[in-house]
Structure 1
Amino acid sequence: MIFGIITAAVHIVLGALLGQLAGGLLGLVIGAVVGLLVGAPFGWAVAAAGTYGADPKGIFRFVVDHTWSLLNTVAGAIYLAPHLIVGHQLDRVVSQGSGRVNVVEGVSPRYATTIGTVCAGSSPRIQRHEDVHILQARLLGPLYLPLVGLNYVLFTIAPVWLLWHDHVNAPINRFTRYFEIGVYPHVWNEAIAYRIQGTPPR
């Protein structure tokens, strides 16, 4: 419970600080409300799922996720909100003590998606892959999402990955496959994660 309360409080304080910087007292109030709207559901999920253990490992993960990797945690909290709004369910068993919030349903039945510490649509056959993304975010902190986004943009407009792509087993023969089979699995964070677990789409 305490982790959930602190999580919500961190989001509120962050929202208030950013709001004050942007718009003074009114901005502070608006920012705090936005932080509450994002942080309260996420804090509830963290508490309900028992995401962080009370052992040193769990506490360390919590501290990292709410300091160095806070940007990723906030992004995950924002990502979680629509899942909860449409009625998606927390996977409490899988989340317990894992350092992540697992959601049973994903955005797409074909893929699991992890943002920050929120992992949606995963399964045992791909969970280690998704955990790599959480570790990447914790290691790189505020650099993680910009670096991933930059790589997506770069590989979309300058497809150097075509030089080492497996054209025989994964041909790029229509527009949608350019992104799904080409860009996506070659972006650095996915390329690393697929080396740990899973097979890139073909």
Structure 2
Amino acid sequence: MVFGIISAAVHVGLGALLGGLAGGPLGLLIGAAVGLLLGVPFGWAVASAGTYGTDARGIFLFVVDHTWSLLNTVVGALYLALHLIFGHQLDRVVSQASGRVNLVEGVSPRYATTIGTVCAGSSPGIQRHEDVHVFQARLLGPLYLPLVMLNYVLFTIAPVWLLWHDHGNAPINRFTRYFEIGVYPHVWNEAIAYRIQGTPPR
């Protein structure tokens, strides 16, 4: 419960700070409201699922996620809120003391997606892959999402990955496969995660 309250308060405080810097007193109020809209669902999920253990590891991960990796946590909170709006369910059993918020349903039945500490649509067979993304975000903090997005843009417009792509087993023979089989598994964060666990889509 305490982690959830603190998490919500951090979101509200960050929103108020950024809003105040951008638009004075009115901006502060708007920013605080946005922080509240994101922070309350995320704080509820953290408290309800017991995401962070009360041991030293749990406290350390909570602090990292709400300081150095706060950008990833906020974007993950937005991702969580959108899932909840669509009626997706929190997986309390898998989330408990894991340091992440798991959702039963994903964006697509074919893929699990992790943003910050929010993992949607995972299964025991691929959870380690998704945990790599959680670790990457914690390690790189505010650099993580910009580096991922930059890699997606670069590999979309300059497909150097074609030089080492497995054309025999995963041919790029239609437009959608360019992204699903080409760009996606070759960006740095996915390539590392697939190397640790899982086989890239073919």
For this structure pair, what is the TM-score category when the shorter chain's length is used for normalisation?
over 0.9
Q: Does 1:68 align with 2:68?
A: yes
Q: Does 1:168 align with 2:134?
A: no
Match of 1:158 in 2: 158
Q: Distance in 2 between matches of 1:39 and 1:11?
A: 5
Q: Distance in 1 between matches of 2:24 and 2:141?
A: 28
Q: What amino acid does structure 1 have at the position aligned with 2:172?
A: I
- List alignment gaps of at least 5 residues for structure 1: none
Number of residue equivalences? 202
Deviations 1:35-74 (A, max 9, x none): 0001000000000010000000000000000000000000
Normalised by the size of structure 1, how large is the TM-score? 1.00
Q: Does 1:30 align with 2:30?
A: yes
Q: Distance in 1 between matches of 2:193 and 2:177?
A: 20
Deviations 1:134-178 (A, max 9, x none): 000000000000000000000000000000000000000011000
Match of 2:99 in 1: 99
Match of 2:19 in 1: 19
CA RMSD of aligned residues (A): 0.4
Deviations 1:113-150 (A, max 9, x none): 00000000000110000000000000000000000000
SS of the aligned residue for 1:176 comes to helix
Runs of 4+ aligned residues of structure 1 deviating over 6 Å after TM superposition are none
- List alignment gaps of at least 5 residues for structure 2: none
Q: Distance in 2 between matches of 1:168 and 1:78?
A: 39
Q: Distance in 2 between matches of 1:88 and 1:197?
A: 26
Match of 2:111 in 1: 111
Q: What amino acid does structure 1 have at the position aligned with 2:90?
A: L
Q: Does 1:49 align with 2:58?
A: no
**CA displacement at 1:110 relative to structure 2:** 0.3
Q: What amino acid does structure 2 have at the position aligned with 1:47?
A: A
Q: What amino acid does structure 1 have at the position aligned with 2:108?
A: S
Q: Percent identity?
A: 87
Normalised by the size of structure 2, how large is the TM-score? 1.00
**CA displacement at 1:86 relative to structure 2:** 1.4
Q: Does 1:7 align with 2:15?
A: no
Q: Distance in 2 between matches of 1:90 and 1:49?
A: 8
Match of 1:201 in 2: 201
Q: Distance in 2 between matches of 1:151 and 1:83?
A: 26
Q: Distance in 2 between matches of 1:150 and 1:163?
A: 19
**CA displacement at 1:29 relative to structure 2:** 0.4
